[in-house]
A and B are shown apart, each in its own frame.
Chain A
Amino acid sequence: MRLLCTAFSLSLRRSLAYRVNLFFDALLAVVELAASIGAIGIIFAQTGLLAGWSAGQMLALIGTFAFITGLRATFLDPSLADLSQQIRDGRLDTYLLQPATSVLLATSTRHAPLALVQSVLGIGVVILGLHELGIVPSPLAVAGWALLTLIGLLIGWATSVGLASLAFWAPRLNLGVLYGAAWELGRYPVDIYGRWLQRLLTFAFPVAAITTWPAQTLTQGPDLTTLLAAVLLGTAFTAATLLLWHLGLRRYTGATS
């Protein structure tokens, strides 16, 4: 944790040197979130419910999506962006030689603090959604939301690292764009997709656990089955990713071997 804090502090100091970039990133986050909210507004101008979700619940979901996407963009994306490239050209050696867990060093030590703007705005949209619903969530619901959001971030990390680890076997494979496209499915509740796609988005690429379940918990109260399913999914995905990483490392030959 101390290592992560130090890395974040260094990244923050580097980022604050470029204030125009901060302005651009903040403006982009506002525009993208406004477009999402605008799309929700257009849909609910035509209907009262979308697959059983009201406008307020949808806002809570969009806010949760923005919050978790901001966290991912801040803490994971900068390291994961060129992980395949690092595996390919042998730069991964740097992390393997350091006295800390290699998977953590290679996937979470470069940060983009300016992307946190998106998370802050996301929280604002969640509050707006709750205001629209006219409810004050119970402390248990808020705790459930926070826990599920953390698990969502963990699943986001595990799936990204899992896909990037495939570079140990197929060095030219670049699935970043595909992953970004799949992540976009989290903008809406899984209830809008067909039955098979819904199952796929619950168990294979659990978008349901990343955004639908946290928003549901916050607006309708916690459900023990959902919480347990999320914990199980988070554990299973993390374990599978760590296993994949270790198997991949065995194949890795480094820059000089």
Chain B
Amino acid sequence: MSRLLRLIRLEIWRQIIGWSGAWWFLVTLVIGQAVAPLLGLFVWLHVPSAGAQVGSYYLAVICVALVTASFENHTFAQAIYSGDVAAALLRPQPPVIGPLGENLAIRLWMLVLGLPLITLVGLTVGVHFAPLALLAALPALALAAVLRFLFVWTLAMAAFWTERVHAVVAFGGALIFLLGGSAAPNALLPDPLRTIAQLLPFRSMLGFPAELATGALTPADAAAGYAISVLWTAALGCCAVGAWRLGVRRYTTVGA
């Protein structure tokens, strides 16, 4: 286990250094991730029934979006198309370490480079977070980060079968936008859409940690949300492993 953690740490460090030369591009990625929650913020500030906490909620959503951003359809899927994934298969380490390390390095950079934007939005909108609510949201944020990675990585593995991996990941993106809490906070969704959104994994990837951070949930709702997040993490973990095994069986590269 400690060997695995050391390998992940090394990969993260390697990727942090690798991406440090592309800081300007990373800034554009930050803006790209923040634009949908920002649009949601602008819209719901015009709706009186949204409540006074909507600014805090969307600021939290922007933070969650930056910390959970996943681009495996660009990084990992391109490695499948170019054949570079073959090198990872030959190394005496789990192949997930490469995409995982790159994912975490990009997220770290995005959080650092996104701080000015987060500060600006926070000062403009006027937000309030209780320290205890923020603490309660931290495990949910970690689960959201794992869930989003597993979700996008699994979808990116469609590259084993099709050239249209960006379209496949975009389907997932549309679902996260609509049901995850970016288009509207879960509490403002009309029934039965609200119940459906609570049962699906997309809210756990984005809106649930933000709802916890703003203190908008009762203890019972928070517990239910955590249970759903854990269940979906296990389910998507199994899906990722299954997709990987099936994909690798199909995979051929130069010389294979």
Contacts and interface: CB of A to CB of B under 8 A. Distances in A.
Interface of A: 20-21, 24-25, 27-28, 31-32, 34-35, 38-39, 41-43, 45-47, 50-51, 172-178, 180-182, 184-185, 187-188, 192-193
Contacts of A193: 42
Nearest to A33: B174
27 contacts: A20-B162, A20-B164, A21-B164, A24-B162, A27-B171, A28-B167, A28-B170, A31-B170, A32-B170, A32-B174, A39-B178, A39-B184, A42-B188, A43-B43, A46-B49, A173-B24, A174-B24, A176-B28, A177-B28, A178-B31, A178-B32, A181-B32, A181-B34, A181-B35, A187-B39, A188-B39, A192-B42
Interface string B33-54: 0111001001110111110000
Interface of B: 24-25, 27-29, 31-32, 34-36, 39, 42-44, 46-50, 162-164, 167-168, 170-171, 174-175, 177-178, 183-184, 188-190, 193
A31 B174 contact: yes
A151 B244 CA distance: 47
A32 B25 CA distance: 25
Contacts of A27: 167, 171
B141 to A, nearest CB: 23
Contact of A181 (B31, B50, B164, B175): B31
Contacts of B34: 181
Contacts of A24: 162, 164, 167-168
A185 B170 contact: no
Given A35-B177, A35-B178, A43-B47, A185 B25 contact: no
Most A CB atoms within 10 A — which of B24, B28, B163? B28
Question: For the complex, would chain A's binding face be called helix, strand, loop or mixed by DSSP majority?
Answer: helix
Contacts, number: 92
Contacts of B31: 177-178, 181
A252 to B, nearest CB: 22
A10 to B, nearest CB: 20
A192 B43 contact: yes
A187 B170 CA distance: 17
Contacts of A187: 39
A182 B39 CA distance: 11
A131 B86 CA distance: 55
Contacts of A177: 25, 28-29, 31-32
8 residue pairs, one from A and one from B, having the closest CB atoms:
A39-B183, A177-B28, A178-B28, A24-B164, A35-B174, A181-B35, A28-B167, A24-B167
Nearest to B25: A174
Given A42-B183, A188-B43, A25 B167 contact: yes
A42 to B, nearest CB: 5
B20 to A, nearest CB: 14
Given A46-B47, A51-B46, A177-B32, 10 more contacts: A20-B164, A21-B164, A34-B174, A39-B184, A45-B190, A176-B28, A177-B25, A177-B31, A178-B32, A192-B43
